[in-house]
Chains A and B, each alone.
Chain A
């Protein structure tokens, strides 16, 4: 079984052509700008939308584990919640939802296959995203092997935060790596995201040596975090021979998810970043002879 957060059909921004993106649960990082914070844990996780909630307490009454409380706002004790979803079932205004469901590989394949004709006509395929898609390595690797066997183009959107042996196993099956680089400075990277610079960059070295033409570097450009070092990331990518860099301007579209998870969002008052803010880097890319795109 694989823990899936969401399957998005007609995904057009995570690799070439028309794609289906499978958002997988589990991530070793905890980036404070994350647009999919519900994927951090493998658990089936309750999300509660304060704006939809009418405080009828139906969820509280039905919860056998006493995981829900109001004081007066909705509170969830995640240690008690077993993900039975009875609360969601009784919530008329649909304030409660759950992220994460277990799917068999066959179930995933069935969903994917619905758009086979679209992949074929657009040179598209499947993108594994997350979370960190290799977090559930064992099962996901089986899925990847079957996808390859069936002839799908496979892209994988990864953090780089896993054992090198994992990467070595997976690499031959992957057609496109969309590889995050969030920062080059060890302290900044590790203190803010929880990543290990050593692991990520060792993995990048490996990709550079074995299949650099299959790698696109993706950098979310976050105000106050890595804006100053975008140029350095491009230079790094150039040095390693990667084919492209995508700069993803900061957006706040994941904000609601943070609220619904009852987590504090660091960038509460941060404005969305204008694409034009980064346009000079496409020029830099031309000078350096490396493709730099703004957006995915």
Chain B
């Protein structure tokens, strides 16, 4: 029996998944078969058990080729199966319990429902994540991801695997098999060979699926497309890819089998094939555009929400011309499609082709929100330091998911630990008790009475002591997640394309991967530092209130203490280019970032770094976090990434960007910044906005995401201002943050916009 409740939402699912195309009973049979094989293989080495289980899923779960697909490969997944990440299916041998329950609810026959119950019971003890959770989670400090009652969450997942697809192209499937055969035939090597044979079966199955399409009444163009698809599938089964289309096909099927949802530097992988095909007249750019548009659609259809990274540009590319050719076509596709995924990402530096920068700007200005911009002039040296790498290796850094860095084909960097800095701060104010639920969550830390903090430093030290405790927990749990995953699975498909698994003859987490890193997502960073600055200013500098008075107001959610809240809100906030306030934010950032990094080094990890990323966890966690001393009310969202709290950036975009640049990128493993502009500003003030971005990057800005919203969005912003904290609009002789304007001015702007 499970001690810990592992049944609940396990990741942010913003976009709705496409349901499995198989009938429910067939799905049930597959899950039963998977479970049976898993159980019967329990005595085998984990690598063989894995490949046996994969044979239940592949190729069965591949679905029909869509009428618009120009490459083959659509994969369903079920509540039970094998995977790497929670976004599609789960981790290792997984069961997503709440989805299994939902599956059960769809069944009509009670007998069938009981069949599901049997599976549920089995997986409570065998789901990889559940095994981890049983050991790590508890009732006070450590919660399941996502269970926001806790100051800290831990999980087991293998997010952000970006494989060395160059190796796949260089060797082809048979070449990889040959490579494996040259190694000592241990279980891992033998199972890997079997996995690649299974991959060939997957290719065969795609040919069957193409044949089904070819039997339909179709246009000549579609027939040609399908014939090419079939021809290339047959080719790549036995040969290294020679054409762009073959390379694209091979990459895609492999990524599906490996369960990877971030793809990486595809310009390096596919650019040379593209250039060769165009140079020798095999295809033209328009044809390449069609293929990539199809890829975009297939990635969109995987609905992996905050993943789907395709990255182009930047340092460390051999054939820059070929890569840029690929990048330009991607930019066209991105501008035309405007999907949520792929998260199309442009790395650049001062040497990047200005035409690419212009195309990127136009793409952003069109409202595509992509590409996301990464500044290599900052990130490469920062990664050298943070991960302790040479320049050549650091040049292969990649942001995945919400913005965590890994080294393509060389490192694991999954964020399996998450800290809520604001909740931890509240423990410091309340003798270890979380005011949200009255539960003691400070572990062995002796938290002093609030009246005993004579100086700001003494309070800050107490907070740091609690942070230390939680950082200790997290580094242990991060490392332990690898141990448990490694105990259960080999991640064969990932291992084959990750350095140095084959040459070391070891699975990914068994000592195979060259750099076993990891990341820790920190939340409430700015709320915490703003609260510290308010405490410092009002309690210790101005002596206007005691710390107890402030905390009492906070505990009452400022009801009846509105004057105190007003005074807190009037203390300068991060994001306004205020020197002292930003310095304190940086001090806290460095304390946590260095604390995590140093613990990773001590633990013997390749790296362990904080990421200040952007997803909805800041909102979800905010909902379960008490009022805070930055003036934020109970249950209100926390600040996104390292951006200011909504409504607190009152000095315009240059001030925000200046504040953002204060955090030295070399201490983190990814940090994201959001800005929103109106289409009017992006188009009419194009050169000024470009100069704004350029200056920010010159000043050390590492990353930028730009949202361009039209006036329909402004109407929505009126109704839901909390979603639009930094939407910049021009008012009259000045510009302003839209949600900071009074409703009638907003209405005026809306009416004017109709003519703009």
Contacts and interface: CB of A to CB of B under 8 A. Distances in A.
A and B pair up? yes
B733 A92 contact: no
| Contact size range, B | 35 or more
A18 B691 CA distance: 8
Nearest to A114: B577
Interface stretch (B4-12, B366-374, B646-654): B646-654
Given A9-B654, A114-B655, A122 B692 contact: yes
B654 A115 contact: yes
B577 A122 contact: no
A17 B755 contact: no
A12 B688 contact: yes
Contacts of B730: 12-13
B567 to A, nearest CB: 9
Nearest to A92: B562
Contacts of A35: 732-733
Contacts of A276: 755
A6 B731 CA distance: 15
A10 B749 CA distance: 19
Interface in B187-232: none
A8 B734 contact: yes
Nearest to A58: B563
Given A94-B566, A121-B698, A251-B752, A13 B733 contact: yes
A10 B652 contact: yes
B616 interface: no
A252 B747 CA distance: 11
B734 A11 contact: yes
Contacts of A8: 652, 734-735
Given A8-B734, A12-B688, A114-B654, A272 B694 contact: no
A118 interface: yes
A282 interface: no
A122 B691 contact: yes
Interface string B677-689: 0000100010110
A17 B685 contact: no
A254 interface: yes
Contacts of A274: 755
A118 B694 CA distance: 9
B652 A9 contact: yes
B723 interface: no
Contact of A92 (B563, B577, B658, B756): B563
B744 A10 contact: no
Contacts of A18: 654, 688, 691-692, 695
Contacts of B652: 8-10
Which secondary structure dominates chain A's binding surface?
loop
Interface string B687-717: 1100110110011000000000000000000
B473 to A, nearest CB: 40
A21 B691 contact: no
B695 A253 contact: no
Given A121-B694, A251-B732, A275-B755, A12 B685 contact: yes
A256 interface: yes
Contacts of A136: none
B286 interface: no
Interface string A272-286: 101110000000000
A117 B695 contact: yes
B607 to A, nearest CB: 32
Nearest to A254: B732
Interface in B567-605: 577
A51 interface: yes
B751 interface: yes
Contact of B695 (A9, A49, A121): A121
Interface string B551-569: 0000000000011001000
A36 B756 CA distance: 23
A256 B744 contact: yes
A296 interface: yes
Contacts of A253: 731-732, 745, 748-749
Contact of A21 (B733, B742, B745, B752): B733
A201 B579 CA distance: 46
Given A21-B733, A274-B755, A256 B692 contact: no
A252 B755 CA distance: 15
A275 B732 CA distance: 13
Contacts of B732: 35, 251, 253-254
Contacts of B735: 8, 10-12
A63 to B, nearest CB: 17
Given A10-B654, A21-B733, A114-B658, A272 B695 contact: no
Interface string B650-686: 0111110010000000000000000000000100010
Contacts of B688: 12, 17-18, 122, 124
A92 B558 CA distance: 12
A13 B733 CA distance: 7
A12 B735 CA distance: 8
A12 to B, nearest CB: 5
A10 B692 contact: yes
Nearest to A127: B733
A14 interface: yes
A93 to B, nearest CB: 9
A164 B721 CA distance: 49
A54 to B, nearest CB: 10
Most chain B CB within a 10 A radius of its CB, from A10, A117, A254: A10
B566 A118 contact: no
A146 interface: no
B573 to A, nearest CB: 15
B736 to A, nearest CB: 9
A211 interface: no
Contacts of B566: 92, 94
Contacts of B687: 122
A265 B752 CA distance: 20
A10 B563 CA distance: 32
Contacts of A115: 654, 658
B571 to A, nearest CB: 14
A8 to B, nearest CB: 5
A36 B681 CA distance: 23
A259 to B, nearest CB: 10
A252 B563 contact: no
Which 6 A-B pairs rank lowest in CB-CB distance, beginning with the nearest?
A122-B691, A10-B652, A253-B732, A9-B652, A274-B755, A92-B562
Given A115-B654, A272-B748, 9 more contacts: A13-B730, A18-B688, A18-B692, A35-B733, A92-B562, A118-B691, A118-B692, A118-B695, A253-B745
Interface of B: 562-563, 566, 577, 651-655, 658, 681, 685, 687-688, 691-692, 694-695, 698-699, 730-735, 742, 744-745, 748-749, 751-752, 755-756
12 contacts: A9-B652, A10-B654, A18-B692, A18-B695, A122-B688, A124-B691, A251-B748, A253-B731, A253-B748, A272-B755, A275-B755, A296-B733
